[in-house]
Amino acid sequence: MNLVRKVSRSAARKVFITGGGSGIGLAVANAFAAASHEVIVAGRNTGKLEASGHRFVTIDVTDEASIAGALNTAGPIDVFVANAGAAATAPALKTKREIWDRMIAVNLTSVYLCAQAALPQMTERGWGRFIAIASTASLKGYAYAGAYSAAKHGALGWIRTLAVELAKTGVTANAICPGFTDTPLVDNALAATTEKTGRSRENALAEFVKDNPMGRLVQTDEVAAAALWLASDAAASVNGQAIAIDGGETTS
């Protein structure tokens, strides 16, 4: 008996998004909801999750039991977007172990744990999408962001391994790699830069986007559109990819 679930092109998916209360995660949630999919956002900040207007569960993506509990509450998932992450800066040789461990836990181990929890149910049903919101830091090094870049490189390696191993199951694994994006995280980084250096926000922003040939921040809805496409049947053969949304930064 063929137990593989047949999913029509118009079928609504159940989509689970970590870090879904703000920034890229919220934009992804809004895009899927606008396309009539069932959306569940997850994160640690209950206030932001409630304000999103979507169904939500609280989660600590560095804790295996927390992830399992959140997925048990959510029920079977068709599309998992591993978006939760954090960034910290320090010169490479002055990067303290606490920063290193935190960046690895939030940006790499979390993707490993989420995949371990979410993918078995997808492979059992014969259809699924696992999407990691990685970074251009998965594709190149950035000064003063060594721990973050190492974690994001690792996340991309994990995604590519999943893609190869799951290729015949009906489940795909891909990474989206945005450049500097107009999010609260970047706003906070800009504020920290202006406070430390006394530079204007405009001057600091120019430094952030100098490597982007378009000379601007990526918009969250541009990242969300890529996630929506990866979850579609049109992207069924897209697997193990690192889709850079960066204005050409990583190719220039």
Give me the active site residues, please: 148
Cβ atoms of residues 14 and 37 within 8 Å: yes
Cβ atoms of residues 31 and 42 within 8 Å: no
Gap between the Cα atoms of 138 and 156, Å rounded: 6
Cβ atoms of residues 132 and 139 within 8 Å: no
Gap between the Cα atoms of 92 and 247, Å rounded: 27
Find residue 90's DSSP bridge partners: 145
Q: What are phi and psi of 236, to 5 degrees?
A: -60, -30
How is residue 12 written in tokens? 């609504």
Count the alpha carbons within 13 Å of 84 in the hemisphere toward its beta carbon: 31
Gap between the Cα atoms of 85 and 103, Å rounded: 8
How is residue 110 written in tokens? 């979390």
